[in-house]
Chains A and B, each alone.
Chain A
Amino acid sequence: DAKTTQPNSMESNEEEPVHLPCNHSTISGTDYIHWYRQLPSQGPEYVIHGLTSNVNNRMASLAIAEDRKSSTLILHRATLRDAAVYYCILSRVRNSGNTPLVFGKGTRLSVIA
């Protein structure tokens, strides 16, 4: 299965944009790119996902490189509540059932007031 690489940690000032990178150089054509985040003492929560085109939702934007070998999660205005571990995950669509989400170590985002 394709792997992802993320920085261990990042820091941002409150109310500034945050760009969280993810490399997935071995991605295949049927791999979806998912982002989840885990707030302290909680279960992971879905942030956004995409296949080829950039995606926007109320939480964030996902920018996918044209060759799909990297992607960037964009938080437009970081708040203290966005301090969390962010996971970039690939999940493959298969006829026998999509591959389950396999988590790496993620990026720990700290937000400074």
Chain B
Amino acid sequence: NAGVTQTPKFQVLKTGQSMTLQCAQDMNHEYMSWYRQDPGMGLRLIHYSVGAGITDQGEVPNGYNVSRSTTEDFPLRLLSAAPSQTSVYFCASSNPGRKNTEAFFGQGTRLTVV
């Protein structure tokens, strides 16, 4: 199983450029989330989705847009990159249901904005 796949693995952007970080999962999970992790810090929730067509903001949503048109994909868009968005980005998926089952994480996208 591929699990959660993030692309690209590494990216360098210039300030003001836009880009989309891709996240795809093949486990038919309803829930998907995006996190960022700055050096030496824990993960912070950017946006999340509880199903196709439904998204919500997390702790640090400013500067990022998301959409969820399919169950499999949850892209994260940076409309105008800023150096403060330099970070490692992780995507996660899960089907928590009533038993609150485990989340699966991708390997991350390391983004540098210069």
Contact = CB atoms under 8 A, between A and B. Distances in A.
13 contacts: A36-B103, A42-B107, A43-B90, A44-B43, A46-B102, A51-B100, A91-B100, A98-B97, A101-B33, A101-B45, A103-B35, A103-B43, A103-B45
Given A43-B90, A44-B105, A49-B102, A106 B96 contact: no
Contacts of B108: 42-43
Interface of A: 32, 34, 36, 42-46, 49, 51, 85, 87, 91, 93, 97-98, 100-106
A91 to B, nearest CB: 6
B97 to A, nearest CB: 8
A45 B105 contact: yes
Band of interface residues on B: 20 to 34
B50 interface: yes
Most buried by A among B92, B96, B106: B96
Contact of B100 (A36, A44, A49, A105): A49
B74 interface: no
Nearest to A46: B102
Nearest to B59: A102
B44 interface: yes
Contacts of B44: 103
A49 B98 CA distance: 13
A68 to B, nearest CB: 14
A65 B97 CA distance: 24
B88 to A, nearest CB: 9
Nearest to B30: A97
A105 B90 contact: no
B48 A43 contact: no
B59 A32 contact: no
Nearest to B102: A46
Contacts of B42: 85, 87, 103-106
Nearest to A91: B100
Contacts of B90: 43-44
A101 B44 CA distance: 9
